[in-house]
A and B are shown apart, each in its own frame.
Chain A
């Protein structure tokens, strides 16, 4: 089979996959006796037609960009980091400690410090699985997923026994100083015209977009990225070229963990203003789908993160506005992952067949 033209590969395939996912979702909604059309309009209405909707959608998008990039970097080294959830939770711990323990004079400095802490904690959390993978060949998928559970327990311990303020009932840290709160979109001059009321989306979105740009430069315009991709594509060629597998594996995974950790700047510092139990809220796992759908390219990741942000926000709107339970968004996410990730080849092969037939017509016409 001939390869698809690039535009079809990048645009048409995901579009068809999404349509299929939407179609099956419609069937599911029909089967519980609700109107798919109403569901769709509710989702669009709730996620994209109001300022508050946008504010939430972009907030989720921010988190998903980070976790999607985390999976992307690992993927290019041929390593599947599915521990983004745990690394994000540890990143949250880093943010909390940075915000609570250091008296920052201004939120910009606090943002810088908290980002460093989040990245460092996320990287530290993947360091052990990464080292085991690089040195001992222990499979990164197994170790990172186990580390997710350890992270959850560790976080709970920290919240209940260490960070919980005296007398508080819920397992969460103290509130961060109010002056460290990151500007939300409704507080940013210019943007506040678009967002009149308070929204969770905050300056971290720009950090996420910058991260996407940096990762793009890293992967395709730097030596480190070259080595990461070379190792990911061909271990033999990497050995031949003298690209150290241990060092490169560690580098890629530490960057991956750091990105996952950075996600916490968005929700812990940018929104909650304190560390809560389930701070990552599944964003670590959604990052896998985002990376899959975004074809492991930073630009694709940004777009896919937006799509999942839409589903996340639109899905919660479903829960509020209709009789459809909020869990429907998990169903939608699952179907999107199924069609864009797992069943990608199905769409692709069908499309390849269509395209194989297309260009023959003009050549036949010429021959005739």
Chain B
């Protein structure tokens, strides 16, 4: 539970919001912004204003036009129509430089940092004082320490960005914006890559910034974050602004309804699992990466037909490596050992027969964690992506050549059944929203009717409507008697979908829990590497059985 949950509403305790905001012109005001891409109206007469010193949320499904709107605000796109007022002055934002000059800073969902630069170097990049860096670096160091004190944005200025955790990298992005004197901060899906504690910390930082008079625009599709962090919220649907509400006087259900345009089931409903025989069993799986670091340490698990095994854990604790072994995605330099059996037959762990194609032929489908770099080829069309991993399917062969028309027809049909929008199979995968990209992958993998399905982060960057749909499909697949291994960093998702939960920490499985009898706190402890089963920990009697 975040400690400051009580202070989330606008004008909260002690009147932290300066009353000046009543007389000040709004920090940002949009008047009738419209933007079309060809026949698609991405933004249609969007108007709202954000008072200075508030956190304003913008929520909407993927493809609702949030990102387009923010791109207009940051000068990436030019609006076809409409006017933008910054602090009451009409401002033209033809490029991002003018946005920066107008005091607008942007924190992107995918960070724009130079990995092998230090924090300090990244902060001054593009905003150096002159050809020699010494002065800028000194100045940045001073103001970074000041900013860190003021807002709780502690980051080691000399650390290399590549060594930082994702949460810290995000702080660097915020510092970058502040160093450029931004007083309006736009954050695009900032918690997509964060763990729950990191997200809570981020919200504390944002509230601190707000209390110092900064204005914050928070774009997200997560209702909980809107409720937790914002003062006011605008809901977008299909390019239109369907309402601006005070967060304090609304509810998640109401927001969800506005977003989707109908009532949404926020809770997942599922019948109890009826587990069948063990389909997949792994014994002592260990993976050593190219540098000799053990990423996966003796992981054993079993997976039965008709059940969902959820793997909980903070990102980077071996879940990806586990999926990569099971799905046949290990890299040449990685060393894998252990034993993997599928329906009693041994599966090879490396070399021939351990690649993705062999795994698929063995009946293991895989919705990978990283859909942009593994699950899809973004430059390929939707129909070409339908053949990814199944390019030697005999149904699509015509002599030496492939029957492209058959793949196209199949894709068109999948787009219908899975409601993938827009239903244009010749469109490049990168042109689809996150949710629809995920549906492309899910349609492909689910329809191959695998016995075992590996699913990594099924709803990362996916909107509510699609989440509901994807969750239903996963449960439906389980009810058909398939075995499902679900890896997710979203604890909610793990808790609501899984029939069993295994928690990973530092490459090991810390413990297994029954979601019906466990609590988030219990799982949270395991995620942090604390084994709560041995609570009397006052004086450890000799070496404990479980490593930390």
Contacts and interface: CB of A to CB of B under 8 A. Distances in A.
Given A223-B397, A242-B355, A242-B360, A230 B402 contact: no
Interface in B240-269: none
B80 interface: yes
13 contacts: A2-B38, A222-B401, A226-B402, A230-B380, A230-B391, A233-B380, A234-B378, A237-B374, A237-B375, A240-B327, A240-B374, A241-B391, A363-B36
A241 B370 contact: no
B299 to A, nearest CB: 21
Interface of A: 1-2, 217, 220-223, 226-227, 229-230, 233-234, 236-237, 239-244, 356, 360, 363-364, 367
Contacts of A233: 377-380
Interface stretch (B277-285, B308-316, B382-390): B382-390
Given A233-B380, A356-B78, 13 more contacts: A2-B37, A217-B401, A220-B404, A223-B397, A230-B377, A234-B377, A234-B378, A237-B376, A237-B377, A240-B389, A242-B356, A242-B357, A363-B36
Contacts of B329: 239-240
Contact of A367 (B81, B375, B391): B81
The 3 closest A-B pairs by CB, nearest first: A242-B357, A242-B356, A241-B389
B387 A226 contact: yes
B374 A242 contact: no
A363 B374 contact: no
A220 B381 CA distance: 12
B49 interface: no
B404 A239 contact: no
B358 interface: yes
Interface residues of B, number: 39
B366 A240 contact: yes
B37 A239 contact: no
A232 B45 CA distance: 42
Interface of A is mostly: helix
B380 to A, nearest CB: 7
Nearest to B403: A221
Contacts of A234: 373-374, 377-379
A242 B81 CA distance: 48
Contact of A242 (B77, B389, B404): B389
A363 to B, nearest CB: 6
A319 to B, nearest CB: 43
B485 to A, nearest CB: 16
B465 interface: no
Interface string B300-339: 0000000000000000000000000001110100000000
B328 A242 contact: yes
A239 B356 contact: yes
B392 interface: yes
Given A230-B377, A242-B360, A242-B389, A236 B401 contact: no
A282 to B, nearest CB: 32
B478 interface: no
Interface string B73-93: 000011011000000000000
A226 B38 CA distance: 30
B391 A221 contact: no
Contacts of A367: 81
B359 interface: yes
Contacts of A226: 384, 387, 391, 402
Contacts of A242: 328, 355-360, 389
Interface in B348-363: 355-360
Contacts of B450: none
A236 B81 contact: no
B396 to A, nearest CB: 9
Contact of A236 (B78, B359, B373, B379): B373
A221 B387 contact: no
B458 interface: no
A239 B374 contact: yes
A32 B36 CA distance: 51
A217 B400 CA distance: 10
B368 interface: yes
B391 A236 contact: no
Contacts of B387: 226
A241 B356 contact: yes
Nearest to A5: B38
Contacts of A217: 401
Contacts of B327: 240
Contacts of A243: 357, 391
Contacts of A227: 391
B34 to A, nearest CB: 9
B114 to A, nearest CB: 21
- Centre residue among A217, A223, A240, A364 by max chain B CB count within 10 A: A240
Contact of A237 (B359, B373, B402): B373
Contacts of A236: 370, 373-374
B401 A363 contact: no
A336 B319 CA distance: 51
A226 B397 CA distance: 12
Contact of A221 (B360, B378, B402): B402
B476 to A, nearest CB: 24
Nearest to B358: A242
A226 B403 CA distance: 12
Contacts of A2: 37-38
Nearest to B428: A3
A252 to B, nearest CB: 15
A134 B259 CA distance: 49
A166 to B, nearest CB: 48
A360 B80 contact: yes
Contacts of B357: 241-243
B372 to A, nearest CB: 9
Contacts of B375: 237, 240
A95 to B, nearest CB: 27
Most buried by A among B331, B379, B402: B402
Given A221-B404, A226-B402, A241 B397 contact: no
